[in-house]
Structure 1
Amino acid sequence: MSVQVISRDGEAEYAVVPWAEYQALLAAAGRPSEQTAVSESGDGLAQLSSRREALGLSREQLARQVGISPSYLELIERGEREPDAAIRRSLAFVLGKAAQEQEAPAP
């Protein structure tokens, strides 16, 4: 497994794995695979802004969680920039996670 560990102040903060390996980990754990909110082909980018707003996320919140600047996210939302596959996967993951949190029943 090829894992990239991202550290901040000498402490591991994130672990990044290739998408296929992440899907294999989910399958091994008996969890369904993540649904991509933003497809890697770019089809979901046209609705990115409305999806973000529907989930109650500000541009700044989404950008921070994805690891890009709010101004770059704005360019993506307006169709002026085409994000690479890694940013698309991050967008899909963050938006999918936010949608699951909204759908989860309150304890």
Structure 2
Amino acid sequence: MSVQIIARDGEPEYAVLPWADYQALLQAAGCQEVAATVAPSPTPSANRAPLAQLQTLREAKGLSAEALARSVGISPHYLAMIESGERQPDAAILRSLAWELGLEGWS
């Protein structure tokens, strides 16, 4: 059995083990197998359509790239990469962009 121990303040707090080993432990303990409930990961293309319009939305609000980038807490260069599709922002940056542009549904 391959187990990773995660400690906090020098004391073991979590044990991470492969799914098959976990299922075997459940079976040995007399428990039923637990179905894996994994939330689907959002695809990168799920947010691409609104991001493709980011520059247009920014310009419609009368914001310069520099002003929007600074208010979101990123560099103007990084904003340019997001606007061009070269980079995909993380959820926190996406929320900040939505807030600054007055948009809903970007999370």
State the TM-score, normalized to the length of structure 2.
0.51
Q: 2:91 aligns with which of 85, 94, 101?
A: 85
Larger radius of gyration: 2
Q: CA RMSD in A?
A: 1.6
> Which residue in 2 is equivalent to 1:61?
67
> Which residue in 2 is equivalent to 1:74?
80
- Summarize deviations over 1:25-63 as a string: whole Å, max 9, x none: xxxxxxxxxxxxxxx834310000011001100000000
Stretches of structure 1 lacking an aligned partner (at least 5 in a row): 1-39, 98-107
Please tell me the residue identity of whatever aligns with 2:54: L
If asked which structure has higher relative contact order (CA below 8 Å, sep 6+), I would say 1
Matches within 5 A, 1:95-106: 95-96=101-102
Please tell me the residue identity of whatever aligns with 1:81: R
- Summarize deviations over 1:39-91 as a string: whole Å, max 9, x none: x8343100000110011000000000000000000000000000001000000
Distance 1:80 1:58 in 2: 19
- Give the paired residue count: 58
Match of 1:80, SS state, is coil
Gap change, CA 1:49 and 1:73, over 3 Å in 2: same
Q: Which contiguous aligned blocks of 4+ residues in structure 1 show a shift greater than 4 angstroms?
A: none
Stretches of structure 2 lacking an aligned partner (at least 5 in a row): 1-45
Instruction: Report percent identity of matched pairs.
Output: 64
